[in-house]
A and B are shown apart, each in its own frame.
Chain A
Amino acid sequence: MLAQFLQFLFSGVTVGATYALAALGFTLVYNASHVINFAQGEFIMLGGMLTVFFLASGLPMPLAVALAILIPAAVGVLLERFAIEPAKNADVVALIIITIGASLVIRGVVQIWLGKGTHALPPFSGETPIDLFGATLRPQMLWVLGVTAAVVASLWYFFSRTLAGKSILATSYNPLAARLVGIDTSWVLFVSYALAGALGAIGGILITPITLTSYDAGIMIGLKGFVAAVVGGLGSGLGAVVGGLFVGIVEAMAAGYLSSAYKDAVPFVLILLILFFRPRGLFGGKLTDRV
């Protein structure tokens, strides 16, 4: 009983950590530019696929990982500069379609370049499972949790303790006021999109040894990351992390105890229920109307 429960919990927390990283990406971009970036999932895919590619071309692991984080970050910046910035006065729907177009371009390029096959990565530190109260914990799960925790901690430090982080927060509250006090808001956009790309990629690299990856692996994880961001209340960093873990755990529990066929539907049922009762997510503020 307990062993089974723990097993589900471990896999839920692991996949939830990836959702949390994706949700943080959604949150950063949303706060900086009020855009829901449907290409966030492609950053996750890029992280995994690029690591596979660079390893296969003979680069050492640390360099491969570094490049697989830097390139998606650069893609994020390019997306902001050349697609979001020129259309920033457009409708919400138009912006959503721009990011969907971007995700198609990224996915299409990867499909042509690296093919349609499914790829694996070796676990970072062996495969000897750790036994914990009868449940098995794979070493890669510890990597996922450890790195995610480290990333969340450094983001917290960045946003609450450094001037750069605070200027990003200020811009998300009120861009005009931020400009008036001398904050370079175009720098804020740059950092936010780069971070969103990097965070997605980190999640993708960490989870690939467990779930494998392919050119279309980003679609579902990206949408679930969006669910996680909304569960936590769009725009809240803490909400994104809690939302990610919550969605991951509920999904794993439902897959284990109810039906594994509907595993992928669970986050969406969850978000509908939450939105019906709390229209701004679990951690979102009160609904206010601006007339």
Chain B
Amino acid sequence: MSRNSRIGLLIVIAVLAVLPFVLPNAYYLDVAIRMCINAIVVLSLNMLIGFAGQISLGHAGFLGIGAYASAVLPTHYGWPPIAALGAGAAVSGVLALLVARPIFALRGHYLAMATLGLGIILAMIFRNETAFTGGPDGIAVPTLGLFGYELTTEKQWYWLIAAMLVASIWATLNLVDSPFGRALRALHGSEVASQAVGVNIWHYKVAVFVLSALGASVMGSVTAHYVGFVTPNIADFFHSIELVTMVVVGGMASVFGSLVGAVLLTGLPQALAKFEGWETVIFGAILMLTMIFLPKGLVPTLAARLRRGD
């Protein structure tokens, strides 16, 4: 881990530790929790998109699998929540493993099409299998019990998710600097060149896809327990797009960019709620302007500018 990364991580820890004491009310705490949840998902998605250079327009599908596993298995079959979370992750992982090979034979727009299709099919299953999933109306999720404790208050949830976020950042920073991370960046640069120096590109593409699917699935389960309710919207095409947007606006292949992207784009719709009706237009315009003027994303662009200033 570089010195800058270590400082960055410490700043994040400090902010997370102070936040619950300065936020004025439960509404802001709720927004902060959602930001942290999205940040964890975006960290794992950025491994796939930013570092390995493989686009996924259907990642919300894996969030959906985790969320519905945590809703359906305890409700209909009496599973303990942790086992349901594990089962969801297992299903996501196996599905990712099965489709990874044929999907990664595809490039560019064809890969975008295939992952988009996968996500849409999953969302439709959640919407249509009403007997299990409650259909478009959604389904209630039981509270999450951990080691005999029930998570009920916002504060408890905040500390759990803040801790998960710190752990994810630490793990991602280490992973990026490991041989695994270097291999991913190599295959992003040139697949043929990395094969020539002995990188098994299949192995790495499949591994990073499965890893990001697992991350999304676990966070889907966590979201379901936190919100206490799941609707098919969690697996929607639009949610997939939101996640990709967080990656790209924050900065591809940038760990701290993932955080910035998640925080900004989770906060933005809340801030725009005042502009009744105009929020879609403003959200869309901000996406376009960021990509036109900062195509590398906020954090890498600003970092480059700072370095030039030195």
Query: Which one of B114, B121, B128 lies within 8 Å of A275 (CB-CB)?
Result: B114
Query: Which one of B103-111, B153-161, B169-177, B211-219 is at the interface?
Result: B103-111
* Residue pair B244, A105 in contact (C-beta under 8 Å): no
- Please judge, given known A-B contacts A92-B109, A102-B284, A291-B190, whether A272 and B291 are in contact too, CB under 8 Å: no
Residues of B within 8 A of A262 (CB): 124, 128
Number of B residues, CB within 8 Å of A = 44
A103 to chain B, nearest CB (A): 7
Residues of B within 8 A of A87 (CB): 291-292, 295
Q: By CB atoms of chain B within 10 A, which of A90, A97, A98 has the most?
A: A97
Query: Which one of A10-18, A108-116, A176-184, A200-208 is at the interface?
Result: A108-116
Q: By CB atoms of chain A within 10 A, which of B114, B244, B245, B279 has the most?
A: B114
Interface digits, A79-91 against B, CB 8 Å rule (1 contact, 0 not)?
0000100110111
Interface digits, B59-98 against A, CB 8 Å rule (1 contact, 0 not)?
0000000000000000000000000000000000000000
Query: Which one of A83, A90, A291 lies within 8 Å of B192 (CB-CB)?
Result: A291
Q: How far is the CA of A261 from the CA of B133 in the complex (A)?
A: 15
Within 8 A of B (CB), among A99-130: 100-105, 107-109, 111-112
* Residue pair A276, B288 in contact (C-beta under 8 Å): no
Within 8 A of B (CB), among A208-230: 219, 223, 226-227, 230
Interface residues of B (CB under 8 A from A): 49, 55, 57, 102, 105-106, 108-110, 112-114, 116-118, 120-121, 124-125, 128, 190, 192-193, 237, 241, 244-245, 248, 252, 277-288, 291-292, 295
Interface residues of A (CB under 8 A from B): 30, 36, 83, 86-87, 89-98, 100-105, 107-109, 111-112, 219, 223, 226-227, 230, 234, 261-262, 264-265, 268-269, 271-272, 275-276, 279-281, 289, 291
Q: List 30 A-B contacts (CB under 8 A).
A: A36-B109, A86-B292, A89-B295, A90-B292, A90-B295, A92-B108, A92-B112, A94-B248, A96-B55, A96-B57, A97-B241, A97-B244, A100-B241, A100-B245, A101-B285, A101-B287, A103-B284, A104-B287, A105-B284, A108-B284, A112-B277, A112-B278, A234-B110, A261-B128, A264-B124, A265-B121, A275-B102, A275-B106, A276-B102, A291-B192
